[in-house]
Amino acid sequence: MTAKTSTFAGQLKHFAQTVDIVDDGIFNQVRSLVCKYVTNELNSEYFELLRSETGGSNGDRQIWLRTFWSSEDKIHLWPIRDDGGSYSNPVTEAFDKVHPMWVVSASGKQQLDSAETYQDMWSASAGMPRYRPISCPQVRTLIVLPLFFRNQVGVFCIESCEYIEITDVAKLELRRLADALGILYGLWDVSKASAEHKERAIGDLQDMLERARFPKLAKPHVFVAFSQRADENVTIVINEVLSQFADKLEFTDWKQMDESGNITTQIGKEILESRFGICYLSEPVMPPDVSAHKYDDNRNVIFEAGMLHARTGASADSDEDGPSGWIPIREEDSPRPPFDFANERILYVPRSRNGELNESRLRDLLNRRIHRLLRDS
């Protein structure tokens, strides 16, 4: 054991220089050991570590010392200077002037509370402000040392009811103690900041996860919408074609939704979680009117198509291929398409002159559109 590590403060400094992370548990253990040490070696009544804080606007910035921990769990908040511009007490002066203090009465061995003037046996400070002991009125010695970690971070102070003469050994030991506590406090502060950043990052990630609607990674999800009165032959073809892509995608149509709760909410949730969509907009006009169109657009499906349109950011590259995110399917014998979809490449249901569905042509058209969606995804 070298001379530098043959004392408690030397060992503590060595520990501080070798440890990587200092959390609350480690610092609380150090606190207990330090308090016990200064109590036994200096017959101290009180030990306190204060850290610096800065606040106020640029033109009125002020620095305080706030208790970080103490031997009696007391809390203090001292401005470096009072309203009159004088130091609040010797502790704040020691911090501001960045020098250690060993404060006793200037005349005899009086208590600091009743002494008229003080003597700084360490740095020979003159004109020190009054000091009101924290632990008890009988305090006769006050020791204050600044703490550093890269920059000045605070001070520690010790009160003793005994009148203690300063020695070179005591000065060396207390400097080592200050070095150790400065390093440990700095490591604790870095560890705390890192933990807070991680916690905020996890919180941000959680918020993102709750807000975002990520598509399925293994199989893209397709939302399928059509009216209850839609041509069943067409809906069967849609489902059969989608089933041929079962190894590449999964799909849901609204008729399969049997969860309890609001069906509109469930549909909205499904759409937001889907990468693709297919909307068969048309339904037969009821009752049939020979003077009008045979088909009309179902308003609910139009609404769902609008959600898909916004969700997927539909766009088309050519006349043959449909929107990159969803496929609108519609009957030819219908009114003008809704304004929002007028410019989209709508897949019109192929029928003969007598209205019979051309299933093979519909399968071929839909097959090509789905292949295009998967290729561009």
Q: In the structure, what pLDDT confidence band is assigned to residue 67 with cuts at 50, 70 and 90? A: very high
Instruction: For the chain, list the domains and their CATH numbers.
Output: 3-189 (3.30.450.40), 221-376 (3.40.50.10140)
Average pLDDT estimate for 255-272: 65
Query: Minimum mean pLDDT among 140-154, 170-184, 221-235, 342-356: which range?
Result: 342-356
pLDDT, averaged across the chain: 85
195: amino acid identity, one letter: A
C-beta separation of 325 from 220 below 8 A: no
> Which span out of 22-31, 40-49, 101-110, 248-257 was modeled with the highest average pLDDT?
101-110
pLDDT of residue 316: 40
Query: Minimum mean pLDDT among 18-32, 58-72, 279-293, 316-330: which range?
Result: 316-330
Q: List, for residues 147-187, the tens digit of each pLDDT value.
A: 999 899 999 999 999 999 999 999 999 999 999 999 999 99
CA distance 183 to 20: 11
pLDDT of residue 206: 79
Residue 121 has pLDDT above 80, yes or no: yes
pLDDT of residue 91: 96
Residue 320 has pLDDT above 50, yes or no: no
Average pLDDT estimate for 286-308: 83
CA distance 124 to 115: 17
Q: In the structure, what pLDDT confidence band is assigned to residue 218 with cuts at 50, 70 and 90? A: low
CA distance 81 to 61: 12
Average pLDDT estimate for 280-299: 85
Average pLDDT estimate for 263-275: 74
Residue 278 has pLDDT above 70, yes or no: yes
pLDDT, greater one: 204 or 232: 232
pLDDT of residue 59: 64
Q: In the structure, what pLDDT confidence band is assigned to residue 74 with cuts at 50, 70 and 90? A: confident
Angle subtended by helix axes 8-18 and 168-211, to nearest 10: 30
Average pLDDT estimate for 268-286: 85
Residue 213 has pLDDT above 60, yes or no: no
pLDDT, greater one: 199 or 369: 369
Query: Measuring CA to CA, which residue among 172, 87, 90, 173 is closest to residue 134?
Result: 90
Residue 3 has pLDDT above 60, yes or no: no
206: amino acid identity, one letter: Q
Ordered strands of the 347-348 beta sheet: 250-253, 221-226, 276-280, 326-330, 347-348
Average pLDDT estimate for 310-322: 50
Q: What is the pTM of this model?
A: 0.56
